[in-house]
Amino acid sequence: MPQIPKDDVLDSSVALQSEGYEFVAVRCRRFGSEIFAARLLGETYYCMRGPDAARMFYEPDRMTRNGALPTFVLHLLQDEGSVATLDGAAHRCRKAMFLTMMSEARLGELAAFVRGDLLEQLQGLAGLGPVALHDVFRHVLTRTACRWAGIELAVEELADLADELGAMIAEAGHPGPMNWIARGRRRKAEAMIRHIVDEVRAGRVAADPDRALGIVTAHRDLSGHLLAPEVCTVELLNVVRPIFAVARYLVFLMAALRDHPELRPRLAAESDYRHAFVQEVRRLTPFFPVVAGIARHGFDWQGHRFEAGDRFLLDLYGTTHHEAVWPQAEEFLPDRFLSGPGDAYTLIPQGGGDHFANHRCPGEWATIRIMEAVLAAMVREVDYDVPPQDLSVDLSKLPALPRSGFLAAIAAVHPAP
């Protein structure tokens, strides 16, 4: 087998920052290889894209996430002690806690909450001129996520939490002073949630056993012990924050709807086509670009030997845009999903593999249901105008967002019975 190519630079971190989502794919095309080695933040990583790489990366128990992410990312997103930092049986035990929240009944309830909260918010904005829907979606999803999780907060607390969650996501890919400020914002959010956890554990607040607050505070680890309060706090944020993050997907959804007005009648009438439309938005949207892992033990793959401790980056964005996997990869073609859903190693905007066996995000199901609910509402129950605006996307910014946040002037809201 030919040797794995190397990015012949002392450290490619600056290039990763400047090229963003396209960093891995550009080099894969340049080297004519689906894997190459690069120095990033002083460590050697094997950077990969494509379904074969995804299958290798998501082989159960092959990779650990613990220590794989830079601390400036980890501390804003998953954080220490979270499910993402666990391996093997401990990970599966904690993951099961999250999967219990993803029943069909709970997902249907989440979609209904999103629709109702969104229509209420937009009704209050009707006739007031253009608003940035990203801001609207952020506040709606904060309220929805807490309501769905069983976390009761005052209106002003919800507004503060929306700002804090927004800072965590916006600064996760950027080391430096703004990241440090965002970590401070996270600590404020943690204090708010920790107080509620302490009240539940002290018996002063009743937690619905079927909602996230009750599920997390009652969960026991492999040893039969309740999770520490600080771990409960981290995991509750890991319920609320991913729902909040769907606001970015929703902006890209609205941009796709603006670009393809001819699809609106079909979207209004056909739930299967709304699902296909949502999947194509997810495929094309620049969400989080890569996922990192460290080999737990040595293994062979495609004629190459890797050792325990080797570091890997799997290019999620590059795989969902891969020319050899997706015909007309850069074209918006929802019909491609009418013949099948894609598989666990090709459609991987939120990770790959099996939801039950490894680290694939269980919130993916919630993301899809939220997007479908918002799409149905916007094509069937909301009249709005889209003024001229700058919807360009800077792929060097992690995570990316259309510049305007999608401006829309709400004309009328007419909820369906």
- Tell me the pairing of strands 382-385 and 407-413: antiparallel
How many residues does this entry show for the chain?
Answer: 417
pLDDT at 85: 78
Please give the structure tokens belonging to residue 252.
């890209």
pLDDT at 188: 93
pLDDT at 353: 79
Please give the structure tokens belonging to residue 155.
């209106």
Cα gap 157→143, rounded to integer Å? 10
350 torsion bin: left (phi>0), alpha (psi -120 to 50), beta (else): alpha
- Tell me the pairing of strands 43-48 and 35-40: antiparallel
pLDDT at 79: 63
Cα gap 314→316, rounded to integer Å? 6
A 10 A CB-CB count for 301 gives: 17
pTM for this predicted structure: 0.95
The predicted-structure confidence for 96-134, as pLDDT tens digits, reads as follows: 999 999 999 999 999 999 999 999 999 999 999 999 999
Map residue 268 onto helix, strand or coil. Answer: helix
The predicted-structure confidence for 166-188, as pLDDT tens digits, reads as follows: 988 888 777 778 777 878 888 99
Cα gap 307→381, rounded to integer Å? 55
List of domains in the chain: 13-413 (1.10.630.10)
CA distance to 16, 227, 349, per residue, from 287 (Å): 16, 30, 7
Per DSSP, what are the bridge partners of residue 35? 48
CA distance to 97, 125, 262, 379, per residue, from 412 (Å): 41, 9, 21, 12
Per DSSP, what are the bridge partners of residue 314? 48, 291
Per DSSP, what are the bridge partners of residue 226? 220
Taking 70 as the pLDDT cut, the residues of the chain under it are: 1, 72, 74-80, 341, 355-360
| CA proximity to 210, closest of 105, 349, 340 | 105
Cα gap 43→40, rounded to integer Å? 5
Say how many CA atoms lie within 13 Å of 217 toward its Cβ.
25
Cα gap 260→128, rounded to integer Å? 26
pLDDT at 185: 86
pLDDT at 123: 97
pLDDT at 313: 96
Cα gap 315→40, rounded to integer Å? 14
pLDDT at 357: 59
Task: Using the structure block, give the residue that is written with the tokens 């001129």.
Answer: 129
Cα gap 316→347, rounded to integer Å? 9
pLDDT at 65: 87
Please give the structure tokens belonging to residue 329.
């990869």
CA distance to 43, 75, 286, 398, per residue, from 169 (Å): 24, 11, 13, 9
